[in-house]
Amino acid sequence: MKNLIKKSETLLVNYWQDERAVTAIEYGVLAASIAIGIGALFSGDGGFMPALEETFNKITEQLKSSSQ
């Protein structure tokens, strides 16, 4: 009986100290947050994409005018 209690105690302590699942969950939450952030950043009605397109158009125009 004491052997069973000791094994159960050891099993519970090892399970309690195991942080692999917690780390996996943290990485999952981090990946989901990054995906949501990227989705919000590059959505069509946001201000980022039009500003980025305008900047690239200005750079393209300046490169064309400087090469002439």
In the chain, domain spans: 19-66
Over residues 11-68, the pLDDT tens digits come to 888 877 777 777 888 899 999 999 988 888 777 676 777 888 899 999 999 998 887 7
Residue type, 10: T
- pLDDT value of position 50: 82
Residue 67, CA distances (Å) to 19, 44, 55, 64 in order: 59, 32, 18, 5
Residue type, 59: I
Interatomic CA distance for residues 50 and 41, integer angstroms: 11
Helix (H, G, I), strand (E, B) or coil at 47: coil
